[in-house]
Amino acid sequence: MKHRSIDNDRRRLLVALAGTGALAGLESLLPSYARGETLSPRSGIAAQVAGGPSRPVSLDFNVRRERVTIAGGHGSGITINRSIPAPLIELWEGQEARLRVHNHLDQDTSIHWHGLMLPFEMDGVPGVSFPGVAPGESFEAAFPVRQSGTYWYHSHSGMQEQIGLTGPLVVHPATPHRIQADREYVIMLNDWTFEDPHRVMARLKSQSDYYNYNERTAGDFFDAVEKSGWMSTLRDRLAWNNMRMSPNDIADVTGSTYTYLMNGRHPATGWEGLFQPGERVRLRVINASAMTYFNFRLPGLPMTVVGADGQEVEPVETDEFQIGVAETLDVIVEPKASIAYTLMAESMDRSGYALGTLTPRAGMRAAIPALREPPQRTMVDMGMDMTHGAMGGMSADAMTDMDHGKRESGAMSGMHNGITSGMSQGDGHGAMGGMNDGAMSGMNHSAMSSMDQDGGRGAMAGMAGMGAGDSGPVVARHEPGGHGSGNFNVAEVQRDRLGEPGSGLEAVGHRVLTYTQLRNVKPMRDRRAPSRNIELHLTGNMDRYVWSFDGLTYSESTPIDIVLGERIRLILVNDTMMEHPIHLHGMFMELENGQGDYLPFKHTLSVLPASRASLLLTADEPGRWAFHCHLLYHMEAGMFRVVRVAPAEAFDNV
């Protein structure tokens, strides 16, 4: 019985692939399971996008709990059609999709089609859009496909997303892309743990730094003393300890339990994709991990970003990008030489990496770059006001020293306005040139000298670091109030940080993508001024591992109601010192990133610590939509709301 259904799944998948007409000649590229060599559940997906003629798609997804060979070991995971990650779905814009979920688990399941616009009942969020798929039951999501691009799908039930239920989803456009590629791969990134995710959550609730094996130690203290002297080191330690926080708090769950996967392959084997030199290759990078931000690069090969969250953007060339959880980015690479290139996806806290190779010949490998130094949080991330002596006795000196001179100093805060726009847009190599005289003179001597001491990086690297990584301007201050006991920090000063490359990428010596560089290819359709602002603060109590909006967890909240057709501005203020990838289901938001009428669409926005970001939204999709932090354990700990979009009368009747 069981075996028959394995065969069925496998055969149907193969038939589906063969049906695209693209399998011929590409068979050698497919993972062995897709060639039918093994029928046991395993990790690894066929990452090549097959394409083919536009057609409606009807697929079955069998959800099972089973033991899989994954991440260099064996563990219990949740498979779809016997695979972790779940198989690649290809849909066609303008056609219909019928996606059937069959639950073979002993618990409820669900699949959310992340980034797709569809009737909310098909959105797959149990408790919001539908009741969920009970054990033994099936659910069909049937909807016309109204968009194209790179998306993904995942369970929205319990913690199933952490243990395998994620997969890539590509929608082919009705009209061809402006930039055609000879070859397309999805690059799906995951973080895998052999632990029960409920145990992970329990551990975080008991000890929130449980997984952090990069805390500051006595050794670091004496290093700092040697570098900056006793007084400033003590002041720095006292300042952080006084706030009861750690500057080394980059990721809640780290490589101490995670193995990072690229298309289901762990770094020891790596994922491999073939190319012919001279070909144009589209990489559809999907961060499908539960908790991990990645820094993605192909050393020696520049990337041209052409899509963000599935939506087309004006091409922008870069060398590296940081991708938040649940975001997708489409990049084009054009490897000319007949050599292999490493795809390096380093976790933001640099406790590990996912790995792949683009190669002209199977088995060829390129050098794997070493993990770089873990980044540290700064007073900017804390939202500390550094201009008005609110530092509790910390001098500008201490602050500069505090972070190896990497990121900020009180003395430099005067520079922000002058340089961020020019420098964040420019390429990193020319960062010095982007700095105007005014900005230079705004730096006082103590800031300069401590940069000179920034051993190893050299003065130039230090400057580039400041330029590319210097924090955006202060755009608002926090109003009185601290959002209650569920929140333990507020961003006193809130910065516009859309021009920043992300934590740890300020001084990497090459170009790094920023949000301000994303420019829509299509002008804004809805030019009405927003009728109102909805301001939400991202809040949390790290000590208790409680996460919330405005200090209220989901269970303390009520829905956010928006009248159908209303144009609103959503303002997100991050009061915490961590990034949060905030995801709205069902509708794209337009990120106000300074691109005029060409604001890029986003379904997930990574909001940097102590920053203030705004998005425009035309609420034209009626429904109950989930709105949440896409860090799995943050969502499950309460950072979740329901957004309702309905005609005004509907709300009046409640």
Partner 1 sequence: MFNSKLIHCGAFLIAALWLPSVAFGDHHGRANVDDVVPGEPLNARSGSPTEWNEPVHDDAIFSQILIDRFEYRDSNGAPNAWLWDAQGWIGNDINRFWWKSEGEGPINGGSPESSDLQLLYSRLVSPFWNLQAGVRQSFNPDPDRRFAVVGFQGLVPLLLETDTALYLSDEGDVSASAEFEYEMRLTQRLILQPRLELSASFQDVPEYDIERGFNSSEIGLRLRYDLMRELSPYVGVSYERNYDDDESTTALVMGLRAWY
Between 275 and 640, name the residue whose CB sits nearer to partner 1.
640
In the bound complex, what is the minimum distance in angstroms from residue 396's beta carbon to partner 1? Answer: 22
Beta carbon nearer to partner 1, 57 or 461: 57
User: Smallest distance from the beta carbon of 17 to partner 1, in angstroms?
Assistant: 10
- Rounded least distance, CB 86 to partner 1, Å: 15
Q: Which is nearer to partner 1, 353 or 554 (CB)?
A: 554
CA dihedral 281, 284, 290, 294 (to 10 degrees): 50
β-bridge partners, 546 = 541
The least CB distance from residue 611 to partner 1, in Å, is 21
Nearer to partner 1, 59 or 368 (CB): 59
Closest CA to 488 of 575, 613, 380, 611: 575
Residue 445 contacts by C-beta under 8 Å, 6 or more apart in sequence? none
Nearer residue to partner 1 within complex by CB, 16 or 348: 16
Parallel, antiparallel, or unpaired for β 567-574 and 532-541?
parallel
CB of 395 to partner 1, least distance (A): 19
Query: Nearest-CA neighbor of 52 among 10, 26, 18, 9?
Result: 18
Give kind and range of the element (H or E) at residue 635. Answer: helix 632-636
Contact criterion met (CB below 8 Å) for 68 and 211: no
CA 636 – CA 626 distance, rounded (Å): 13
Rank residues 246 and 516 by Cβ distance to partner 1 and give the closer one.
Answer: 246
Q: Which tokens belong to 473?
A: 């301007």
Q: Which residue, 175 or 206, is less far from partner 1 as judged by CB? A: 206
Query: Which C-beta is closer to partner 1: that of 136 or that of 430?
Result: 136
Which of 472, 413, 469 is closest to 442 using CA atoms? Answer: 413
- From the CB of 372, what's the least distance to partner 1, in Å? 18
State in angstroms the smallest separation of the CB of 142 from partner 1: 7
- The backbone torsions φ and ψ at residue 601, rounded to the nearest 5 degrees and listed phi first, read -80, 140
CA distance 589 to 327: 13
- To which H or E segment does residue 417 belong? helix 416-425
Q: Which amino acid is at 97?
A: A
Least distance from partner 1 to the Cβ atom of residue 219, Å: 7
Q: How many CB atoms lie within 10 A of CB 19?
A: 14
Cα distance between residue 356 and residue 69, in whole Å: 18
Which residue type sits at 55? R
Nearest approach, Cβ of residue 131 and partner 1 (Å): 5
Helix (H, G, I), strand (E, B) or coil at 581: strand
Q: Which residues make Cβ contacts (< 8 Å) with residue 134, sequence separation at least 6?
A: 103, 108
Which of 485, 533 has the CB closer to partner 1?
Answer: 485
Choose between 55 and 227: whose C-beta lies nearer to partner 1.
Answer: 55
CB of 352 to partner 1, least distance (A): 15
* Cβ 130 to partner 1 shortest distance, Å: 8
Pair of tokens at residue 492: 């006193």
Cα 115 from Cα 627, distance rounded (Å): 12
Q: How far is the CB of 569 from partner 1 (least distance, A)?
A: 22
Strand ranges of the sheet holding 303-308, from the earlier edge strand across to the other edge: 259-262, 183-192, 281-287, 328-333, 303-308, 311-318
CB nearer to partner 1: give 581 or 623.
623
CB of 221 to partner 1, least distance (A): 9
Per-residue buried b or exposed e for 500-518, using 16+ beta carbons within 10 Å of the residue's own CB: bbbbbbbbbbbbbbbbbbb
Cis previous bond, 85, omega within 30? yes
Handedness of CA 189, 195, 201, 207 (dihedral sign): negative
The nearest distance, CB 157 to partner 1, in angstroms, is 9
Nearest CB to partner 1, comparing residues 207 and 533? 207
Q: Which tokens hold the place of 86? A: 């779940």
What is the residue-wise DSSP string for 540-582?
EETTTTEEEETTB-GGG--PEEEETT-EEEEEEEE-SSS-EEE
Cα–Cα distance, 128 to 107 (Å, whole number)? 18
E strand or H helix at 328: strand 328-333
Residue (180 or 555) nearer to partner 1, CB: 555
Nearer to partner 1, 240 or 515 (CB): 240
